Amino acid sequence: MVQQLLAACAGSGCGEFRDGDIVVVAESAVATAEGRIVRLEEVEPSDDARRLAGQYRMDPRLVEIVLDESDRVVGGIEGFLLCMKNGTLLPNAGIDVSNAPPGAVVLLPLDPDGSAKRIRAGIAERCGADMGAVIADSRTHAMRLGCSGVAIGCAGIPSVVDERGRTDLFGRELRITRRAVADCIASAAELVMGEADERIPAVVVRGTGLPIGDYNGVAAIDASECLFMGVALHAHPAPVDRENEP
């Protein structure tokens, strides 16, 4: 379904798909096409859901869905539970209330990487173009106001480009840097797709120069390798308060 709609719209929107293009599709559009919609009236909250709903002032039916969709709930603030799902942290397990039918919520695609792979294959079959595909979601980031796009599914392009071994302007070897290119593409696409009633569920990104090939999946890391999660998971020295130093 998604592939057919994208192929039908490509002619009027971008002059047909081309080799090297990257199509970015909003996760809510993909999830809706895949039937990942739950009506709240059909949900019976558990005791755990009611307890968390009272603690964080949420609809207990929504909390029950969040619990079902999460690998682990690690905390929360009013209106949101912070969850681990598929190796990443996200609020409310990525469940969308906005842009969902009244009385319903939209879950994340069940297999975003698989969705991206199917979209890429479908476009190649219908249009003959060798492209990349990204499933994009919007997320908040630690200590930053607002949200930006991230890639939750990817196919046809490397999601991360390893820059280690290259040199900077002064000849120093890069030892850590990896570029999250799929996230950068998703964030750029979000500028066009928007977050409200723009009704632009997909964007074509052209001219990136990224290799197109048999790349599948969004690269992930263990929580212990993440700076933010690592600080929370491991003992560390007392914080230094520079503002109050004598």
Terminal-to-terminal C-alpha distance of the chain: 64
Residues with Cβ < 8 Å from 160, sequence gap 6 or more? 178, 179, 180, 181, 182, 219
| Cα–Cα distance, 82 to 123 (Å, whole number) | 35
Class of domain 17-34+108-230: alpha beta
Q: What is the pLDDT of residue 230?
A: 61
Residue type for 54, please?
Answer: G
- The pLDDT value recorded for residue 10 is 67
Query: What is the Cα 194 distance to its own chain's centre?
Result: 14
CATH class for the region spanning 37-107: alpha beta
Q: For residue 155, which of 32, 25, 15, 35 has the smallest C-alpha distance?
A: 25
Token couple for 110? 């069940």
Q: Do residues 104 and 38 lie in contact, with contact meaning Cβ atoms separated by under 8 Å?
A: yes
Q: Where in the chain is the domain with CATH 3.30.1330.100?
A: 17-34+108-230
Of 194, 29, 191, 212, nearest to 120 by C-alpha is 212
DSSP type of residue 78? T
Residue 220: closest CA among 85, 127, 122, 99: 85
- In this prediction, residue 244 carries a pLDDT of 54
Q: How far apart are CA 115 and CA 100, in angstroms?
A: 20
- Give pLDDT, residue 108: 95
| C-alpha radius of gyration, the chain, whole number | 20
pLDDT tens-place values along the chain, 246 residues long: 676 667 667 655 566 899 999 999 999 999 999 999 999 999 999 999 999 999 999 999 999 999 999 999 988 999 999 998 887 888 999 999 988 999 999 999 999 999 999 999 999 998 999 999 999 999 888 788 999 999 999 999 999 999 999 999 999 999 989 999 999 999 999 999 998 889 899 999 999 999 999 999 998 877 677 776 665 555 444 444 435 544
User: What is the pLDDT, as a whole number, of residue 45?
Assistant: 97
